[in-house]
Amino acid sequence: MKNVNLKVGDQLRVKGFVPAGADRFIINLGTGERDLALHFNPRFQVHGMALVVCNDLTAGHWGEEKRQHCPVICSGQNIKMVFKLTGDRFRVELPDGQEVDFPNRRGIQVISYVSVERDLKLSALEIF
């Protein structure tokens, strides 16, 4: 989606279903396809548990990945996550209330591009 207007202090709620046997899903926040402030990528491992990989992309070049095991995001389940832009950080509230934290390396103050890709059947996406 283009022309999104997610500002510092706003939150983005994402709801959907991750099918059984899913490989991964991706939620990107930034200013365009090649300029991402947050690339949020849960990758499903043994027994459907996820390894969350976060990164940024500047002019098509990836930054340094941050990886975190995340057993609360599993395939075969409905999920709800809240993405928070606090200014210098992104905080992603997971289904159990735990948070994944990633620096806003580029200092972007307004997110205008959001994409949801791969194995997430999106049911709701809202800014509040």
Residue 46, helix vs strand vs coil: helix
Cα dihedral sign, 34-14-109-100: negative
CB contact at 8 A, 17 and 77: yes
Give this prediction's pTM: 0.93
In CATH terms, the fold of domain 2-127 is Jelly Rolls (2.60.120)
* Tokens (6 digits) for 101: 């934290």
CB contact at 8 A, 25 and 118: yes
pLDDT in tens, the chain (128 residues): 888 999 999 999 999 999 998 999 999 999 999 999 999 999 987 555 678 999 999 999 999 999 998 888 888 999 999 999 999 999 999 998 999 999 999 999 999 999 999 999 999 999 99
